[in-house]
């Protein structure tokens, strides 16, 4: 014979309803920073934690977007702007339907990021900007995709933060120095921000 569960108290019911409302609330979290700063790694670590808590999450990986949504675009300022606006459109669409859209994309120009923020504001969709502020010296040592080595060898040009501009956010919602803490610590700092803003 099974023992019946105790009835929910008013307090536990309110907590449950609050949790359901939080997990169902969408938002875009844009992680900007130099190549090999750790943006994507942090985004996937956060995504795993959020999914375990019941959130609907999508990671909009910049490389995948380039391949499937922005194929044919180059790396001129105009093409970079177009790429960022396409990603911003998709992110806002997902966020407006209750998804946490994590966007680990360089987005080197402040005006491009501002345009995405304004799109979200106009639609009434939550938007957070996170700067993964890893110094270029550390990024070049990590060199996850070998881009810094190729640039140094003269095989490529226009590498963000080296021979192409990167305009760091002046007042992001959060600045993460991933070179001074672990991936888990970085993801936890971002999770704390979401909790503070009523999104986790």
Which segments are annotated as binding site for ATP? 33-40
Q: Are 57 and 50 in contact (CB under 8 A)?
A: yes
- Of 160, 153, 154, 200, the C-alpha closest to 49 is 200
**For residues 100 and 28, what is the distance between their CA atoms, to the nearest angstrom?**
6
Q: Are 8 and 16 in contact (CB under 8 A)?
A: yes
Q: Half-sphere exposure (CA, 13 Å, Cβ side) for 21?
A: 7
Tokens representing residue 54 in the block: 């019941």
- Of 194, 9, 4, the C-alpha closest to 102 is 194
Element (H, E) at 32: strand 27-32
Residues belonging to the binding site are 33-40
């Amino acid at each position: 014979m099974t023992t019946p569960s105790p009835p929910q108290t008013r307090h536990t019911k309110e907590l449950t309803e609050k949790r359901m409302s939080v997990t169902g609330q969408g938002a875009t979290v844009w992680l900007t920073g130099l190549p090999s700063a750790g943006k994507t790694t942090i985004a996937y670590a956060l995504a795993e934690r959020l999914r375990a808590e019941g959130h609907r999450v999508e990671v909009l990986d910049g490389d995948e977007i380039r391949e499937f949504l922005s194929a044919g675009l180059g790396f001129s300022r105009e093409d970079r702007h177009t790429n960022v606006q396409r990603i911003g459109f998709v992110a806002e669409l997902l966020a407006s339907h209750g998804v946490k859209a994590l966007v680990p994309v360089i987005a080197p120009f402040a005006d491009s990021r501002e345009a995405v923020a304004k799109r979200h504001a106009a639609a009434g969709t939550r938007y957070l900007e996170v700067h993964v502020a890893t110094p270029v010296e550390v990024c070049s040592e990590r060199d996850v995709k070998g881009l810094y080595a190729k640039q140094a060898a003269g095989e490529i040009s226009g590498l963000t933060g080296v021979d192409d501009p990167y305009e760091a956010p002046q007042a992001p919602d959060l600045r993460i120095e991933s070179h001074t803490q672990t991936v888990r610590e970085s993801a936890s700092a971002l999770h704390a921000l979401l909790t503070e803003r009523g999104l986790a």
